[in-house]
Amino acid sequence: MSLAIEQILNGLQFGVMIFLLAAGLTLVFGIMGVINLAHGSLYMLGAFVAASAAGRGAPFVLAVLAGAGAAALAGVVMELVVIRRLYRREHLDQVLATFALILIANDGVAIAWGKTPVRMDVPGALTGAVTFAGLTYPTYRLLLIAAGLAVAAGLYVLISRTRLGMLIRAGATHRETVAALGVDIAKLNTIVFALGALLAGVAGALLAPILAVQVGMGEQILILTFVAIVVGGLGSIRGAFIGALLVGLVDTLGRAYIPVLLKPVAAPALADSLGGGLSAIAIYVLMAIVLVWKPRGLFPVGSR
């Protein structure tokens, strides 16, 4: 039983981190109509910068801030130099241009940090584990869940309660009205893009102590993020949140339980092989089911 709770917490932790990426990606799509494959590169940059800041003795909080800041800065540059030219272009151009950005980012990071994984330690105060209700769970992972939920709540407040949020919501559906209000759309776009980059950087920096920080890490999570967005519905923060949690939970629980469940019904070798395969594809099966049931995701937005 406690194992099940632990797995659920793991899935939740994975899910909220995916949400940090999915939120930015879905906002950028909702406001600008751009698909950004290089979103994972910003996450990777956040992880690398945080890891090397920590490696040089920066306190944990500062390292995370450095990673997030670097990602946000890179996001601003990316928007000004490339993304801005893609707003009115076809999706195919957007895919290819941001694919090119991935090639550049991956090689650039390899030049700066090398191809071997970089390590970042869990900060001393958080290395332990918390025991509650008969369950022992690593403190740092609990912090990740809390941080992810806090960011989600903050984002909710930002979108629903502030002037910037109002503009973001309006910008997604009534571009012309927003422009008519005298708002500088170009600036709004840059801000939204930087916000998305910041969130991706935070996710990268927070995950750096428990993941291998290496070239290519961005694409792995990017594709999970896509699945989360497809499941949740494009352009919706709420959809991104639910989709990300579903993906995190299904992936984690699938890996934990599908091989176990297969044991009694299949030969050991087959159970191993089949179980491994099935648990690796569990989230794609989830996506397929949602697609058949609701082709536009669980929480579709507007007409775009």
Q: How many CA atoms lie less than 13 Å away from 36 in the CB half-sphere? A: 35
Q: Minimal distance in Å, beta carbon 246 to another protein?
A: 14
C-beta closer to another protein: residue 134 or 295: 295
For another protein, which is the closer residue by CB, 6 or 272? 272
Q: How far is the CB of 143 from another protein (least distance, A)?
A: 29
Token duo for residue 192? 């939204």
Q: Could you tell me which residues are beta bridge partners of residue 136?
A: 131
Q: Distances from the Cα of 24 to the Cαs of 88, 94, 137, in angstroms?
A: 20, 16, 29
Binding residues vs another protein (CB under 8 A): 29, 35, 82, 85, 91-93, 95-97, 99-104, 106-108, 110-111, 219, 223, 226-227, 229-230, 234, 272-273, 276-277, 280-281, 284, 287-288, 291-292, 295-296
Q: Which is nearer to another protein, 264 or 295 (CB)?
A: 295
Kindly tell me which of 137 and 299 has the beta carbon lying closer to another protein. Answer: 299
Q: Cα(108)–Cα(198) distance, rounded to whole angstroms? A: 19
Nearest to 139 by CA among 120, 154, 124: 124
Least distance to another protein from the beta carbon of 58, Å? 28
Between 125 and 280, name the residue whose CB sits nearer to another protein.
280
Are the CB atoms for 214 and 100 separated by under 8 Å? Answer: no
Q: Which residues contact 180 (CB under 8 A, 6 or more apart)?
A: none
Beta carbon of residue 270, minimum distance to another protein (angstroms, whole number):
10
Structure tokens at 69: 């800041």
CB of 291 to another protein, least distance (A): 5
